[in-house]
Structures are given as structure tokens and as C-alpha cells.
Structure 1
Amino acid sequence: MNPDHSGQPLPSRVGHAPFKGTRTTEAPLTWSQQEIWALIENAGPNDHVYNVVEDFRIPAGVRPTEAECLEALSFFFSRHESLRSVFPRKADGRVVQRVLAEGALPVEFVETDAPAEADIAALRAFFGTRRFSFGDELPLRLVLLVRGGRVWGGVYVFSHMAVDWYGIQHLAEEVTEYFREGRNLPPLSEDTLTPVDLAAWQASPAGIRKRDRTLAHVASLYRDRAPLALPPAVADLPEEEAYRQIALRSRAADQAVGRIALRTGMSAAAVIVGAAALLLRDLTGGDRVDLHLTSSQRFGRDSRTMVATLMQETYFSVDLADADLPQAVKRSWLAAITAFQNSGCDAAGMDRLLAELGDGPDAPLRFSYCINDRRTRAADAGTPREVPAASLLADTVLTRLPVTEEEPFYLIVDDGADHLEFSLTCDVRHVTESGMETFLRDLENCLVAWADSAA
């Protein structure tokens, strides 16, 4: 039984989706899994912040029966090894990935008419804020909402050890095609990697060369200097009170970024990073801006459509001395390409290097600024954009959010059907709440002004 927003239980029952794969196998963690595992361990009892939680609605013309949903889950768990993987700890302390040859996913069905958004939020909280039992629990929890024998929506919770945002996006596309094509899909391409295959490649001579190239690149950037520092402290607060999170949802920025990307031939990601980097230059007074970015690691045909976690942090540095916004975007695009070409490394190897570049294992080199572009929708560059972006500024919504990750400066970029959302977490001992709001407003305004300047 699951709670609704009033705390009362919603009636539910559990079904099971059996699956059968082609092998049982075990392998070391991939580099991406190592990185996620380190974050999970550092989060301690609050590691649920790395669960990937979302609710969804099924279009009225598609709505399957409960049996059809279980059949689909059986199909996809049999198809993708990452979905039937667990992550046990060995006697020597190592965590590994173990692919199960067979099993069954428990699925909770809740019989309900369309509940209030607060009910959906209660379900998300109930399932999403519990930590996974990584050693023996499958990496998906699923609640399906049923009315009149048909499933109309639900809530999913993925373990980030198994999938990332892009893996979920590809899986969603496969699910859509599966139902469109009569509940069938062609087999995966023979050259599609699995996480076990990827772990083997990363231990090969080619993988070791990539790792060494990444380490050499980071060492070349920071051997003789520290990354961009936070502004001087402006407040004295205890650690547990030091972080705030603010989100800005903007239709204006969405239109502006798409228009700029179309005009310049740059990606939307480069436009956003360039604008943010320029504002960080002005905030800190440092011409060279250093960022943690997140690299999708989906550069090859054999990895582009993997349902797995592949994303890794990468190290970005750009000189913005005397740059205006167009120049900042161009320089940031080149810097990002360099960073992505030199990304991919085992967690232990990077930890050793950062300790060497800093003041040892207890005080490694740290990066104060991180941007995580999680957009799943490409800029709609082919659509005419005749309405000035500034005309949409009145629709912008700014909200305070509960802090999900305690980071000194962490900008997350998400998208919706017609908007961008910038979520900024900061250490308010260095960047005040009003400064956070100013940064988000300035980011929106500079994008809008550039987009409209040549309209």
C-alpha cells in the first residue's frame, strides 16, 4: 500500500515481469559506474539523491493492459543486460556488476482515477527516496497507475548505476516503437556494447591509452595553477545551513538558445556553457574559467544507443579575456570539444592525479563550478522563431527548491516541451541567495538580448 498526499494508503497489488537473458556473467565496474559509485558512497545514507525518478503519462490512444505492460517489461529486461544487473560487493571489498540470466521484476499496480499532482508527488517520494539494495535489487522500481483495466501513467525509479538520462531517453524511444510496431522490435545490432563489454575494453591496451590521455590532459591544465576559485566568503554559516537551490523556468531562454544555435551553427549546449562561463568570469574576476562538465561518452556507433550509465565528468577550461558573448560561445565550444576528446578515466586513477595536483589525498584539487546539461530535447532549429524572445520573459518562474546536492556552484540544465529550466545550487557563504537569483536572471537576459539583437 502506498501513501497519497494525505498520508492515506492507495490500494495496490504487485505483479511480476519474468525475464530471461543469454548469460550470467560478472565484470568490474565501468569507469562511469565507478564514478557513480563514488558519489553514492560519499552521499552515505542519503544516496537516494542519485536515484533517477520521474512520473509519466501514457497517451490515450495507446494505453496498454496490465498484462501487456508486464509482457513489455519482460521483453526489455531480456533485451538489455544493464536492466538485469546487480552490484554486489566481493569479499575483498570490490563492487562488481553481475548480469542475471533470469529473474522477475516486481511491478506495483495502483487502481486509481487520475490523482492530484500531490498524489503523484507522494508516490515519487515514497519510491524515490529509498536507497537501492545494490547487491541484490534490480535497478528499476515501477509503479503503474490503472483505470478501467488500462494503464494510464506511472512513476519509475532507476538506479543511476544502471542507466543515465540518455540511456533512459533511448529506452523510452524503444518502448514507444515497441508498442507502435505491434509489441516487437528487431534484435540489437551485433556491435552494440554492453556494460560488461565496455569494462573489458577499458582494461584493454586501447582503453588504457584513453585513460592515460585523459590524465595527461588534466595534468597539463592544472599542473601549475589551481582551477577558478569561488568569490571571497560573504557569510559565516555552519555547513548544514550553507546551501540553497533556486530554479528558473524560462520559455524566453528556450527560444533564445534555439535561435542563437540556428544563427551561429553552434550547439545549444555550447550556447548555454558559453553564456554561463562569461557570467562566471564577471562574478569572480578571473579571465580563465574552469568547469566540471558532464560528458555523455556516447561518441561511437556502438555506444550511442546503449541503455546504460555512460556519463562521466570532464574538465573544461577556457580563456575569456576580453570576450563578448559571441566570442565566449565560440571559445567555449572549442574548449568543450577538447575536454570531451580527453575524457574517460577510472575513478581511482583520477583520484590519484587530483591528489597529486592538490595537497594530497585529504585535500585533492577541487573544482568549484559544475554544469550538468541534462536536456533530452535538441534545439528545434528548423522551426521559424518570429516572436521576440523578450516577449516571453513575463512567463518566467523562479522558485526555491529543497537542496538535493551540496555543491559550491552547480548549474543543472533541463528542458520541457517549450521551456528551459536552470537549477542552481550554491554555497551561500560565497554566493548569496540574491546573487544566485541575479545569476539566473542575467543568464536568461543575456541569451534573450543576443537572440533578439538580430531578429
Structure 2
Amino acid sequence: MIVDFAGPGSGTAPLTWGQAAIWQAIGNTAPDDHYFNFGRVLKVPGTRSVEDVTAALRALVERHGALRTRLDDQGQRLEGSGRLPVVISREKPDIVLDELAATRFDYWAEWPIRVALVVDGSAVTHVVLVFCHLAADGIGAEAAIRDLRMLLLRGALTGPPPPQALDLAHWQAGPEGRAVAERAAAHWAEEYARIPTTMFAKPGPEPSDPPIWRAQLSSPALDLAVRSLALTHRASTSTVLLAAVAFLAARVEGHGTCAVLPIVANRFRRDTIGLVSTMSMEGLFTVDVEGTFAEVLGRAGPAALRAYRSAYHDPADRDRIVARESSGRGERVHPNCCFNDMRFADPGPAACEPSALESALKETALTWPMSQHELNCRFCVHVTTEGVSLTADTRFLSKPDIERYLMNLESMLVSAVRT
């Protein structure tokens, strides 16, 4: 079916920094850029008809301009009105989600959100939403889901309107935004001058077909060890994991300094609260890895803070810095090493009994949930509530090496707790 909408505001603007960054990644991953599609399933509260739910969807799209914005020659265009296709399905929500996310978006012609209603008789049981990453990141999608839930419960939302992506784009292009961007650029320039040309330069002996593979490690023991180390070293669990990932990544090719691109939410300003847009961007984390893991972890905290600040940057500034450094070295400089902690909350530090750690090791499992032909990175670690995964290009890190890396990550963290 079709949902007609007519919301406030229209016009054009440059891409925001977050949009420009993800657009580069999409271009480097095409035609496999459906990799960046992601979705949410909302269980509908109470008993709601199709008409009830489509009315809430209409209000959602009218409220958040990013959901009615597409690419155009100026960068992006916010439309004041339009027609949103909605699929009606009786399949299981997870199946519908996979089907909606399986194909790449038409960034110029298609609305940046796909919607399906799962029905049982005349009632809608679930709403399935798939987002284009140009329109939202994980936190932006959660803001949309929260508003949709409230629209279903109350029929309307009160309070001031949420911030809009077009307003953010204009701010970033103005004097205040440029001042922020220049501070971030200074960090990128300083650190790019000292990092390795890339973390993974040596072709591996066993490339697979397709070359991109993901291994998923489910390890309760790793989770316990990380929380215990966070307590001992007065760090967040994310910092512990980032330090561990960097420590082992550097050892693959024997680098003394590791450069990692952590994905940072960039929602530090008040005008980003409730903003449906893509704000997450790469920061630049650099750390010297000489010495023990405990020593590297001690250096990781300040380095992580600098990396998080550098993530709110103008990709055009970063491109100039990369081009300048690459020209000086005679080859492209890029870490090709990413870290993405996708958890919405840090579980926090916690003590761990040795017996619990030993018992948890028996539950470790490793699977291979994904493969594809193209990716914009050679090595990318994702952290979720389900575990730690490594997506890598087997032309530089073979499948056995991917598995070995994840198992070494677990054993190193567990050993660090034991000692």
C-alpha cells in the first residue's frame, strides 16, 4: 500500500559530515553496499489496525526530515511531500527484515526507509523498518523507533520539533562548524604523519571466493575477562576491547605503532539529541604497542579520548590530509583497520571469579555468518551484545588467520585476568 505524507520544510543542503563519510564507504563497497542497510523490528503495542499504524508512520516521516530526504546534485534534497510504499506481510518479522535489507537502496529515487507491516488477521503485530545509512545510524534509528512507539501509544507527540539534518549541514558549513572541523583536522594531520602506511599490506596465501568473510565469536569468557580488566584498570569495557584489538592487530605484521579507526557516535552536542541522521564517523586511534598488553591498555585511555574528539570532522579535510601524506610517501596511507562497538550501553566493570571464567570457556563458539565480494576495509571488528566479530579481506588475512585472531583475542584477555 501507499502512505501519503506532507511534512514541514523542504530544500537542499550539502551532505553532513556523517553523510559524506558513509557515502564514501558506500561508494567503496558498491555493488555490495547493501552491507550498510540495517533494520529494526517494533512489536506493536496493543491491538492496532493497518490504518492506525500507517497514520503513525505518516506522522513519523513528517516529523523527521531525514526520512524524506534523497540525494541530488546539490548534495541532499528534503521533500515536503511524497508517497511511501508499505509492504503488508504475514511472514515472520525476521524474515521480512532480511528481505527488505537484502538489496541496495536507490539513493536518488528511493526514500531512505523501507517499511513492512506484519499482520495477523486485521491487526498489525510488528512494524519492520530498514534504514538507508545515509538517513540514520544506530542511535538515529533508535530515536525513530522510540517516536513511532509513542505515536502508536498516544497518537501524537508533544514538545518542540526535533533537530533536522539540513540544519546540521548548514551549521557544519558555517564558521562554528569550520572551527570544530579545523581542531579535528589538526589531530588527523599530526597522527597521520607517524602511523604505518597501512596495518595490513602483505597479501595472504589463501584468498577465498568471495574474498570478504566475517567470523563471529560468541565468548562468555571474553565478556567476563573484559569487565574484570575494566575494573582493574579503571577503564570502560570499550577501551579494553579497543586496546586489545590494536595490540593484536599490530602483531600481524609486526608494527610498533597501531592505527585503528573506531566508529564514534558523535552525539555530544545538545542539538543532536533526538536527531534522526547518520552521525557516526571514524576517529583516528593511535597507540604504541611496545611492551605488555597491560602497558598498552594504560596508554589506550588518553589515546581513545583523542580519537573520539577527532571523529567529528569534515571528511574533505581528512581527504586533503590523506592525499598530502600519501603523496609524500609515494603510496596511499590508510589504516584499513576499523573498530565498531555497536552496543548501546557499556555493561561496566565487574569482578570475575576464576571458576566462573574457566566454566565460561567451555561455551565459546565461532561461526561464519557472512561473505561478500566488496568491502571498504580490510579488517573490521564489530562488538555487539552477541559477541565480537571480525570481517576481513582474505587477500590480506586468510580465513584461518581470521579465526586465529579471534581465538587469540579471547585467550589474551583471559590470560590477562589470570595474571
TM-score after normalising by structure 1: 0.82
3-state SS, counterpart of residue 58 of structure 1: strand
Counterpart position of 2:279: 310
Q: CA deviation at 1:425?
A: 2.0
CA, structure 1 residues 428+254, in 2 after alignment: closer, same or farther (shift >3 Å)? same
Q: Does 1:187 align with 2:179?
A: no
Q: Does 1:438 align with 2:404?
A: yes
> What amino acid does structure 2 have at the position aligned with 1:186?
T
Q: State the percentage of identical aligned residues.
A: 28
CA, structure 1 residues 111+261, in 2 after alignment: closer, same or farther (shift >3 Å)? same
- 1:51-450 matched pairs, under 5 angstroms: 51-54=37-40, 56=41, 58=43, 62=46, 64-88=48-72, 90=73, 94=74, 96-112=75-91, 115=92, 120-121=94-95, 123-180=96-153, 182-188=154-160, 193-223=163-193, 226-227=196-197, 229-230=199-200, 232-235=202-205, 237=207, 241-262=210-231, 264-325=233-294, 327-359=295-327, 363-379=331-347, 388-404=356-372, 405-406=374-375, 407-415=377-385, 420-450=386-416
Counterpart position of 2:10: 24
Q: Does 1:50 align with 2:36?
A: yes
CA, structure 1 residues 103+241, in 2 after alignment: closer, same or farther (shift >3 Å)? closer
CA, structure 1 residues 137+276, in 2 after alignment: closer, same or farther (shift >3 Å)? same
Q: CA deviation at 1:241?
A: 4.8
* Greater length-normalized contact order (CA 8 Å, ≥ 6 residues apart): 2
What is the alpha-carbon distance in structure 2 between the residues aligned to residue 280 and residue 187 of structure 1?
A: 47
3-state SS, counterpart of residue 345 of structure 1: coil
CA, structure 1 residues 81+265, in 2 after alignment: closer, same or farther (shift >3 Å)? farther
Cα deviation, 1:41-61, whole Å, max 9, x if unaligned, reads 23333332222235x3627x6
3-state SS, counterpart of residue 317 of structure 1: strand
Number of residue pairs the alignment of both structures matches: 416
> 1:169·1:376 contact (CA, 8 Å) conserved in 2?
no
Unpaired segments of 5 or more residues in structure 2?
none
CA, structure 1 residues 265+21, in 2 after alignment: closer, same or farther (shift >3 Å)? farther
What is the alpha-carbon distance in structure 1 between the residues aligned to residue 378 and residue 220 of structure 2?
A: 27
Unpaired segments of 5 or more residues in structure 1?
1-13
CA, structure 1 residues 444+62, in 2 after alignment: closer, same or farther (shift >3 Å)? farther
Cα deviation, 1:71-102, whole Å, max 9, x if unaligned, reads 221221121111121212x2xxx5x2211222
Q: CA deviation at 1:125?
A: 4.4
> What amino acid does structure 2 have at the position aligned with 1:82?
A
What is the alpha-carbon distance in structure 1 between the residues aligned to residue 120 and residue 199 of structure 2?
A: 54
What is the alpha-carbon distance in structure 1 between the residues aligned to residue 234 and residue 3 of structure 2?
A: 46
> 1:57·1:154 contact (CA, 8 Å) conserved in 2?
yes
3-state SS, counterpart of residue 311 of structure 2: coil
3-state SS, counterpart of residue 333 of structure 2: coil
What is the alpha-carbon distance in structure 2 between the residues aligned to residue 423 and residue 17 of structure 1?
A: 38
CA, structure 1 residues 45+17, in 2 after alignment: closer, same or farther (shift >3 Å)? same
> 2:381·2:388 contact (CA, 8 Å) conserved in 1?
yes
Q: CA deviation at 1:200?
A: 1.1
What is the alpha-carbon distance in structure 2 between the residues aligned to residue 87 and residue 225 of structure 1?
A: 35
